[in-house]
Amino acid sequence: MSHKECIFCEIAKGAVPVKKVYEDEDLLAFWDIAPQAPSHFLIIPRKHIESINDLGDEESTIAGKMVIAAKRISAMSGIDRSGYRFVINCNKDAGQEVFHLHAHVLGGRKFNWPPG
């Protein structure tokens, strides 16, 4: 999929409506349309980056901001005290379906280990 066809790029531009939970100049976070937990949000950079493998030194600030956004979102949604997962899948075998870097924040229930 090209950058021009990327659904998360369209969401970041505002062309596709989502239920936003957080945004700033670099990131957007919104409810997952197919939640795997009572609270399930996605955090995406506004800049198109395909996966963790495509992060460079210049994107280290974005990666850090994604972690801080997860902390803020979990506190806002009330899952910070009971616990939550912050997950980034990298490439097909790990379960990445949309090739635009994104993190899942999941909470509101007890999780098992190991996952998947």
* Among candidate residues 28, 37, 23, 36, the one with its CA nearest the CA of residue 10: 28
- Count of CB atoms situated within 10 Å of the CB of 111: 12
The average pLDDT across 107-116 equals 91
**Residue 1: its pLDDT value, please?**
46
Pick among 3.60.140.10, 3.40.640.10, 3.30.428.10, 1.50.10.10: CATH of 3-107: 3.30.428.10
* Among candidate residues 84, 8, 71, the one with its CA nearest the CA of residue 44: 8
The average pLDDT across 9-15 equals 96
Q: Report pTM.
A: 0.94
Q: How far apart are CA 30 and CA 15, in angstroms?
A: 14
**Residue 5: its pLDDT value, please?**
85
**The pLDDT of residue 3 is above 80:** no
Does the annotation mark 104 as catalytic? no
Q: Residues 3, 40, 100, 102: which is the catalytic one?
A: 102
- Give 4's pLDDT tier (boundaries 50, 70, 90): low
* Among candidate residues 73, 75, 3, 65, the one with its CA nearest the CA of residue 32: 73
pLDDT digits (tens, 9 = 90+) for 30-40: 999 999 999 99
Angstrom CA distances, 7 to 14, 25, 80, 90, stand at 11, 19, 29, 17
Mean pLDDT of the chain: 95
CB 61 within 8 A of CB 74: no
Q: Where are the domains of the chain?
A: 3-107
The average pLDDT across 71-95 equals 97
**Residue 115: its pLDDT value, please?**
84
